Amino acid sequence: MELRKFLSRMESDGELLRVTKEVDPEYEIANIMYSLNERPVIFENVKGYDYPVFGGITSTRDLIAKGLGTTKESTLLKLVEALREPKEPRIIRDAPCQEVIDRHPDLDTLPILHHLPGDGGRYGTATIAIIKDPETGRNACYHRLMQIGKDRFTARVIPNRQTRTTYDKTDEDLEMAVCIGNSVAVMVAASLGPPPGVDELSIANALDRTDLVKCVTKDLEVPAQAEIVLEGRLTKDVDREGPFVDLTETRDFERREPVFVVDCITHRKDAMYQALIPGRMEHKILMGMPKEPTIYDEVSKVCDCKNVLMTMGGGCWLHGVVQIGKKGPDDGKKAIEAAFRGHRSMKSVTIVEGDVDIYDPRSVEWAVATRFQADKDLVVLEKQPGSSLDPSGDHSGKKTLTAKTGFDATKPFDVDPGKYEVVKYEKVDPNKYI
């Protein structure tokens, strides 16, 4: 569903708020979004700026499912299918994102948020960067951008990701376009991180129709329905980036990162700026959800995988739950090993069966309480590659190390299944009795 159609749909369903009171992009908007639990919102009157600010459109799995035209329970398989069968997007000539072309850009005209005291500066967060690698082709992913001038940012470009790999193997500037204000399909696809050579925008087009348009000043294609596009170059100059809050709600430290110079801004005539507050639900879901298909694929190689969830308590990054159809006594242990192969930064995984609701933490905890014995069902792996986002990890070497745990909370295979059957009451209408 196109972004604007999705916003209209949410508004008609009573899910979208409009704030007409004047609000300040310096801390105030971020604090309001947080206080609304990231409910979808449009701030129509932003102090000092002509652009409205919106956010919260991917803050729950139900919203993401609605934006993709599916259900929460079916989202995983929809992502798996799109990853396996991407569809090349159509390229059009006239696009809404190029209704206005500004070849003398001034980033101070954009309501880029200052989220928290202690941040390095004003940050673009819902910022999808598009590059082309001469060998593997087009790539779309997220890079946070800290403004350091009227036409430049420092970009957090993570080692071993495609943008950094492409950037490092050339001595010249790398053309990059940054899209702000995107459909749910584009936002989810850009977060997936498929193997090199698999185009995220083709994945987006498989999730929902995503037409592209060629940039005005760069040899790149961008989503035609985007609100704002920053066309520029990732230069060999470096500057300060950070501090900034990351997934675990702890502050990432200051680094030296590449400078992104903006040469041209294109946008809709009535463009809106998209915000995504760091360390909270949208950030976590968009980071964690892409790992669920890779875990699913690995677990499916060893047993019957039903569903996967990266949990909010683990920052949607460090902890996961895998639901299987148990057909053999060792399926739970096999699933644990495979799940860690599917997401190597994961620190803990719990394996449950189909009668456990993986979206309900109480149901998962109940499975551990009633089906798990630590002396038989606990897997502990020492000194494993971990995540740099985990403050408790061992960060003394080149690679973070951690201890990993797996909980086999499936029913024992050789006992009466009736012993583990959940007793359920029948629901009646209490109004008949009151």
Q: List active site positions.
A: 246
**CA–CA gap between residue 180 and residue 186 (Å, rounded):** 11
Residue 282 burial by CB count (10 A; 0-12/13-18/19+): exposed, middle or buried? buried
**CA–CA gap between residue 370 and residue 362 (Å, rounded):** 12
- Bridge partners (DSSP) of residue 261 are 152, 233
Respond yes or no on whether the N-terminal peptide bond of residue 243 is cis (omega within 30° of 0): yes
Q: Which two tokens stand for residue 83?
A: 């990853």
What 3-state DSSP class applies to 385? strand
How crowded is residue 287: how many other Cβ atoms within 10 Å of its Cβ?
19
Name the DSSP letter for residue 97: G
| CA–CA distances in Å: residue 301 to residues 168, 291, 310, 334, 394 | 35, 16, 19, 10, 31
Q: Are strands 53-55 and 273-275 parallel, antiparallel or unpaired?
A: parallel
**CA–CA gap between residue 303 and residue 51 (Å, rounded):** 51
Residue type for position 213 = V
- Bridge partners (DSSP) of residue 264 are 231
Q: Is residue 145 within 8 Å of 123, Cβ to Cβ? A: yes
**CA–CA gap between residue 51 and residue 45 (Å, rounded):** 8
First to last CA, the chain: 45
How crowded is residue 85: how many other Cβ atoms within 10 Å of its Cβ?
10
DSSP string, 160-177: TSHHHHHHHT-SS-EEEE
How crowded is residue 44: how many other Cβ atoms within 10 Å of its Cβ?
14
What 3-state DSSP class applies to 325? strand
Q: Is residue 324 within 8 Å of 299, Cβ to Cβ? A: yes
**CA–CA gap between residue 312 and residue 318 (Å, rounded):** 9
**CA–CA gap between residue 336 and residue 321 (Å, rounded):** 10
Q: Is residue 353 within 8 Å of 410, Cβ to Cβ? A: yes
Sign of the alpha-carbon torsion through 135, 138, 144, 149 = positive
